[in-house]
């Protein structure tokens, strides 16, 4: 069997060690992928990297694998975090999935004046992140931060960090002229459906490390703006 099966493991990974999969991953490997003893799969985590492993023991409820060797990868670790206003669950799921595929360091949910919701289900969103990372070849899983008010979060940021927010009226384009690099703490902020309120725009304009950027001449949905912005910023880091 091909080793294209990838499983994220929140455990230490080391060559020649064995590890047990949890109930959910064991069920997936057993009943969806129908693995057999000696089949090879790939396991990974954000700390140790990616490893080739072999099914060592299995029954209906439990699967154990043995780690054979570490895979040598050219891995891109994104240095940009996404700050987003809470939106409807179906659109939020799409945002989390696609932004994980693109590559993002952290997801930072915030409450704005026009936020649709006030809370998130972190366990459900982590499940989406895990499955997306497994499918897309990502090694570094983005962290999901706790929900905060937008002003509370921005006021506690390191003043050396840089925050860019989508602004259709801005003349700034996401390119090398923004003078950013992968050593900075970079945040990209997208507003809610209906955009930021006038008070919030005034607040953002007065935050020293906040800069508006244009994503084009059309009005984008929140989830679309997140995807476009992250793609443009990550392309800059790839060039450095």
Here the CATH number for the domain that contains residue 116 is: 3.40.1280.10
Count of domains forming the chain: 2
pTM above 0.75, yes or no: yes
Asked, for residue 157, whether it belongs to a domain, the answer is yes
Q: For position 193, what pLDDT does the model report? A: 84
Radius of gyration of the chain (CA): 20
Average pLDDT score, the chain? 89
Write out pLDDT tens, residues 125-157. Answer: 999 999 999 998 889 999 999 999 999 999 888
Pair of tokens at residue 150: 């937008």
93 versus 3: the higher-pLDDT residue is: 93
Asked, for residue 48, whether it belongs to a domain, the answer is yes
Q: Which of 70, 96, 126 is the C-terminal boundary of a domain?
A: 70
Write out pLDDT tens, residues 193-238. Answer: 888 889 998 899 888 888 889 888 888 899 999 999 999 888 877 6
User: How many Å apart are CA 186 and CA 80, to the nearest integer?
Assistant: 5
Q: For position 78, what pLDDT does the model report? A: 83
Asked, for residue 1, whether it belongs to a domain, the answer is no
Asked, for residue 75, whether it belongs to a domain, the answer is no
- Whether residues 59 and 121 share a domain: the answer is no
**Residue whose structure tokens are 């997936």:** 28
Short-list 106, 84, 7, CA closest to 52:
7
Domain that holds residue 108: 80-239
- Whether residues 37 and 105 share a domain: the answer is no
Q: Which of 47, 70, 93 is the C-terminal boundary of a domain?
A: 70
Proportion of the chain above pLDDT 70, given as a percent: 96
């Amino acid at each position: 069997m091909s080793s294209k099966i990838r499983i994220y493991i929140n455990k230490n990974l080391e060559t020649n060690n064995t590890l047990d999969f949890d109930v959910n991953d064991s069920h997936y490997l057993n009943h969806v992928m129908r693995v057999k003893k000696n089949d090879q799969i790939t396991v990974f985590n954000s700390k140790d990297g990616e490893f080739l492993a072999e099914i060592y023991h299995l029954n209906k409820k439990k699967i154990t694998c043995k780690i054979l060797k570490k895979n040598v990868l050219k891995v891109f670790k994104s240095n940009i975090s996404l700050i987003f206003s809470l939106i409807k669950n179906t659109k939020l799921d799409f945002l989390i999935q696609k932004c994980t595929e693109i590559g993002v360091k952290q997801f930072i949910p915030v409450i704005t004046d026009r936020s649709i919701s006030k809370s998130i289900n972190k366990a459900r969103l982590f499940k989406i992140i895990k499955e997306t990372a497994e499918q897309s070849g990502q090694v570094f899983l983005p962290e999901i931060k706790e929900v905060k008010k937008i002003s509370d979060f921005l006021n506690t940021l390191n003043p050396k960090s840089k925050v860019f927010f989508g602004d259709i009226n801005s003349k700034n384009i996401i390119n090398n002229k923004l003078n950013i690099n992968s050593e900075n703490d970079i945040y990209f902020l997208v507003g809610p459906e209906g955009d930021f309120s006038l008070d919030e725009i005034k607040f953002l304009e007065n935050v020293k490390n906040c800069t508006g950027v244009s994503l084009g001449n059309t009005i984008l949905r929140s989830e679309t703006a997140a995807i476009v912005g992250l793609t443009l910023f990550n392309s800059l880091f790839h060039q450095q």
